[in-house]
A and B are shown apart, each in its own frame.
Chain A
Amino acid sequence: MFRETKRIMFAGVGGQGILLASRVLAEGLLRAGLDVKSTEVHGMAQRGGSVVTQVCFGERVYSPLVGPGAIDALVALEKLEALRYIHFLKKNGVLLVNRKEIPSLPVLSGAVTYPQDVEERLSAFPVSLHIIDADREAERLGNHRVMNMVLLGALLKLTGIADLIDWKEVVSEAVRPEYRDVNLRALESGMIVV
Chain B
Amino acid sequence: MQHKTILSGNEGVARGAWEAGVGLGIGYPGTPSTEIVETLAQIEGPMVTWAINEKVALEQAYGACVTGLRSLVTMKHVGLNVAADPLFTTAYMGVNGGLVIAVADDPGMHSSQNEQDNRWYAIHAKVPMLEPSTSQECVDFTKLALELSERYDVPFLLRLVTRVSHSRGIVEIDRNAEYRRQCRSYERNVPKYVVLPAHARARRLVLEENLKKLVSDPQARSANRMEITGSDVGIITSGASYNYVKDAFGDRYSILKIGLVYPLDGAIIREFASQVRRILVVEELDPYLETMVRALGIACEGKKYISPFFELNPQAVAASLAKAGLEPLEKPEPAAAEAVTDIPARPPMLCAGCPHRGFFYLARREKLMVVGDIGCYTLGAMPPLDGIDVSACMGGGISIALGIAINPPGGEKVFGVLGDSTFYHSGITGAIDAVFNRRSIVPVVLDNRSTAMTGHQENPGTGRTMDGEPTIMQDPERIFLAAGFDRVHLVNAYNLEEIRSAIRDAKSSPDRVAIIVKAPCRLLKEAQRGPVREVIKENCTKCKSCLRLGCPALSLGSDGCPVIDPIACTGCGLCEQVCRNQAVLVQEKGVTE
Contact = CB atoms under 8 A, between A and B. Distances in A.
Say whether A associates with B: yes
Interface of A: 5, 13-14, 23, 26-27, 30, 35-50, 61-70, 80-81, 83-84, 86-93, 95, 103-115, 121, 125-127
A70 B547 contact: no
Residue of A70, A105, A107, A121 most packed against chain B (CB within 10 A):
A105
Interface in B245-263: 246-247
Which range contains the number of B residues in contact with the other chain? Answer: 35 or more
A189 to B, nearest CB: 22
Given A67-B316, A125-B335, 11 more contacts: A39-B166, A40-B167, A41-B111, A44-B31, A49-B349, A64-B243, A70-B332, A87-B337, A105-B383, A110-B556, A111-B383
Interface stretch (B122-130, B144-152, B338-346, B483-491): B338-346
Interface string B324-351: 0000001011111111100111111111
B348 A104 contact: no
A112 B552 CA distance: 15
Contacts of A27: 6
B446 interface: no
B329 to A, nearest CB: 9
A114 B344 contact: yes
B346 A66 contact: no
B507 interface: no
B550 interface: yes
B168 interface: yes
25 contacts: A38-B169, A39-B168, A40-B8, A42-B111, A44-B110, A44-B111, A44-B348, A44-B379, A47-B351, A48-B348, A48-B350, A49-B348, A61-B169, A62-B247, A68-B334, A69-B332, A70-B330, A87-B334, A91-B334, A93-B335, A103-B555, A105-B349, A105-B383, A108-B554, A110-B556
B168 A64 contact: yes
B334 A109 contact: no
B334 A104 contact: no
B544 interface: yes
Given A63-B313, A66-B314, A90 B332 contact: yes
Contact of A50 (B313, B337, B346): B346
Contact of A81 (B243, B346, B348, B544): B346
B495 interface: no
B353 to A, nearest CB: 12
**5 nearest CB pairs, A to B:** A67-B315, A43-B31, A69-B334, A43-B111, A69-B332
A40 B110 contact: no
B32 A39 contact: no
B547 A47 contact: no
B343 A83 contact: yes
B244 interface: yes
B4 interface: yes
Given A64-B169, A86-B335, A47 B346 contact: no
A83 B4 CA distance: 37
Residue of B246, B343, B454, B551 most packed against chain A (CB within 10 A):
B343
A36 B348 contact: no
A62 B246 contact: yes
A61 B199 CA distance: 50
Contacts of A126: 335
Contact of A47 (B32, B379, B548): B379
Contacts of B32: 42-43
Contacts of B550: 105, 108-109
A32 B551 CA distance: 44
Given A67-B315, A83-B343, A114-B344, A109 B247 contact: no
